[in-house]
Structure 1
Amino acid sequence: MKQTRVGKAWRRWLGGMAALGMMVALGPLSGTALAQGLSWDDGLRGDAPERYTVVRGDTLWDISGRFLRHPWRWPEVWQVNPQIRNPHLIYPGDVVYLYDCNGRPCLGLERGQGQVRLSPQMRTIPHREAIEPIPLEAIRHFLRDHRIVDDPEDLEELAYVVGGDDRRLMSGVGDRLYARGEVEGSGRVGFYRVGERFHDPASGELLGLELESVGQARRERQEEEIVVLEVTTSRQEVRNNDIVLPLEAHDLVTEYYPRAPEREVEGTILSVPGGVQFIGRLQVVALDRGRRDGLEPGHVLLVEQRGERVHDPRTGESLSLPGEDAGMVMVFKPYEKMSYGLVMKASRSLSVGDRVHSPSPRGLGSAQR
């Protein structure tokens, strides 16, 4: 691998996250990972370019994947400058390049015709042009339509639809309807219907109830235990007994960067919303591990595809062949007992029941981009 000239600037990757309202904490990156870094041999792709010009539609994950065997390890090639409070963003037309810093690879950034200094400055460019860290729109769309209730008993405490104008059993946009129970806040609310019930495959423990959005409403007033609502949007007709909840804030996270969990995690893909049989890149999956298991937004897990079951031709015994690492999932919404994750890599079709596990200490695995 040819080593190019020395420069500075990988820290600017953080700007893409900051532009999306994400606060990135650097504390955990100041230890062993940054000190050791990647070597020219163990972390770079064999076909890594010396330079890459950013184009519209790229994400930070995609760009780092052009250079690194495991894109989630890009914090290890940052040149962290704690004096920079407002790191630059990465835009289409910028050039990312490899260079040598003290015997290990680092990544730098050139803006336009020359190398950019890491000094605070203002650049007037429409916010929409900034490169995103990962494809975020799919996640935002998913979170608008799905949420988890940890305990079924919690449902008994939530407000629910009891009727509509003119004794309607189902209501749509523009209709007024009534719910029983307390609804916090004074803004918009969502209507939800209980969807899938997630259970631990091994113990049978109920991990959570999925609530699926059917519409939204404007809260008009509360009279004792009855809330008066006007339906503003609907994906389906709102029915009696649908659950009423204040809309969740859709900030993805308050602290985010791809990284391995702090402790060993081993679990299973529980489900794919929509009932898809085979899972590919950029699909959302439900996992049977959550905050109680140490998962946080940004944690990366490898996916091991289950080995086939075969029959021994001599003994007739049923055998399970070893599994193979076939993909990578990044957790974006952990709940107490389970999580939602986004498939960032899939070298083969994944499926419900496949095992997920922490990367090895050096982040190596057989799953490729």
Structure 2
Amino acid sequence: MKMSLKKIAKALLITTFSSAMLMSTAHANNPPPTIKADAPNRYIVKKGDTLWDISGRYLDSPWRWKEIWATNKQIKNPHLIYPNDILILCVIQGKTLIGVDTGEGCAGIEKQLMGDVTASAVTVTSTANSIPPIPWSAIQHWLDKTIIVDPQDFNTTPYILASKNRNLITASGDKVYAKGVPLIVGQRYGIYREGERYVEPKTQKVIGLEVTQVATGLVTSTESNGVTSLQLTDSYGKEVREGDRVFVELDNAIPPVFYPTPASVSRGGMIVRVMDSISSAAKGSVVAINLGSTHGAKPGDVLTVYQKGPLVRDIRDNDTPVRLPNEPSGMLMVFNTFEHISYAYVLDSELPLNVGDRLLKRQIQYKVLR
């Protein structure tokens, strides 16, 4: 059935009006982050602070810290904070903001915020000694030598056949022999130990293999029978064993600076492993989640952890079991991503967090006028 031009125009007008009302309502239901009632007007940054800790001193929603940070346009890395910096709470043009006091108080912050900047006036600041988003000591082990690879690719790489002295190798300078695809003489290679396999809970498909680099070796010769000789140049706290794999050292670097921010992943996920533990995770723990770069996960992403609601019996309906809603139980921040898996640091937890707990990105709820 065809619609008249008048009806089409009326429909478009209603749609436009409804969209405007929705946007207006959405804005009204997305107010600025709430400043804590006991937030300090002045805070001196200490060594050992983290960006998350500092954000938590001022905000009820620390992941929204950027919305109140008074960015200094004269600084290339304007979000860096250093020990002994003095943070002050200011109201600038009707907005509550936090900035670094340069000696002029809120007037100085307003000048930095509003001043015109030319390219030559921008100062490049070093990330060295800046306040990290989360404690580096808690995640260092999972940054340095541990990576997640494709299991099929891993199984095609050369493997350690034996050592020159036919024993375990614990120091640099020893010689080992690998068998498999010939390696390049003069090239450095990593020697990796197979670890945890990660399985997608719904499909039971293996989606990643965790491997840890135990040593680095320099190829000194190759033989026609596929045996390669390597001189160990570095070892990393573990012996080299027969069966360890050899391949080009992989760069496991994360961005030098990242900040807590609401995640923009394409789907929800879950905790699939609690690292260094067989039980539950709490604040300060590291976990593995089944969200990776293919799902849009990136360092700094903040996700909410939900625990599955318990089953209760409805006494007014013949004791029929009813599942209660999932409840938020904590928050975590991604700090290292791979294709299908990421490592994340637990920022807060109201309850112990367990394998199987659900993950959702922070969402702002918009109310629609009817």
TM-score range, shorter chain: 0.7 to 0.9
CA drift at 1:183: 5.0
1:109 aligns with 2:105: no
Superposed CA RMSD: 3.2
Stretches of 4+ aligned residues off by more than 6 angstroms: 35-38
- Counterpart residue number, 1:173: 171
CA drift at 1:85: 2.8
Query: What SS does the corresponding residue of 1:218 show, helix, strand or coil?
Result: strand
CA distance in 1, matches of 2:185, 2:69: 42
Change over 3 Å in CA distance of 1:45–1:172 after alignment to 2? same
TM-score (norm 1): 0.76
Write the deviation string for residues 223-248 of structure 1: whole angstroms up to 9, x where unpaired: 25414132632533321111123333
Change over 3 Å in CA distance of 1:74–1:272 after alignment to 2? same
1:330 to 324, 330, 333: 333
Change over 3 Å in CA distance of 1:231–1:173 after alignment to 2? farther
Query: What SS does the corresponding residue of 2:364 show, helix, strand or coil?
Result: coil
- Counterpart residue number, 1:153: 152
Change over 3 Å in CA distance of 1:237–1:255 after alignment to 2? closer
CA distance in 2, matches of 1:362, 1:66: 25
- Counterpart residue number, 1:217: 216
Query: What SS does the corresponding residue of 2:134 show, helix, strand or coil?
Result: coil
- Counterpart residue number, 2:357: 354
Q: Which deviates more, 178-187 or 196-205? A: 178-187
Q: Is the 8 A contact 1:86 1:120 kept in 2?
A: no
Change over 3 Å in CA distance of 1:204–1:85 after alignment to 2? same
CA distance in 2, matches of 1:159, 1:274: 29
Q: Note the residue ranges of structure 2 that are not aligned, 5 or more in a row.
A: 1-26, 113-120
CA distance in 1, matches of 2:282, 2:187: 37
Change over 3 Å in CA distance of 1:238–1:329 after alignment to 2? same
Q: Note the residue ranges of structure 1 that are not aligned, 5 or more in a row.
A: 1-34, 364-369
CA distance in 2, matches of 1:101, 1:171: 63
Change over 3 Å in CA distance of 1:329–1:104 after alignment to 2? same
CA distance in 2, matches of 1:113, 1:255: 28
1:100 aligns with 2:91: yes
2:324 to 308, 315, 321: 321
Q: Is the 8 A contact 1:96 1:109 kept in 2?
A: yes
Change over 3 Å in CA distance of 1:240–1:81 after alignment to 2? same
Residue identity (%): 34
Q: Is the 8 A contact 2:149 2:208 kept in 1?
A: yes
TM-score (norm 2): 0.76
Write the deviation string for residues 184-222 of structure 1: whole angstroms up to 9, x where unpaired: 795754332222221111122221111134x21331424
Write the deviation string for residues 133-178 of structure 1: whole angstroms up to 9, x where unpaired: 322233232122421113x22123222111111333x322143211
1:285 to 284, 287, 290: 287
CA distance in 2, matches of 1:334, 1:122: 27
Q: Which deviates more, 86-95 or 352-361? A: 86-95
Change over 3 Å in CA distance of 1:254–1:182 after alignment to 2? farther
Q: Which protein shows a greater Rg?
A: 2
Q: Is the 8 A contact 2:273 2:355 kept in 1?
A: yes
Q: Is the 8 A contact 1:303 1:357 kept in 2?
A: yes
CA drift at 1:350: 0.9
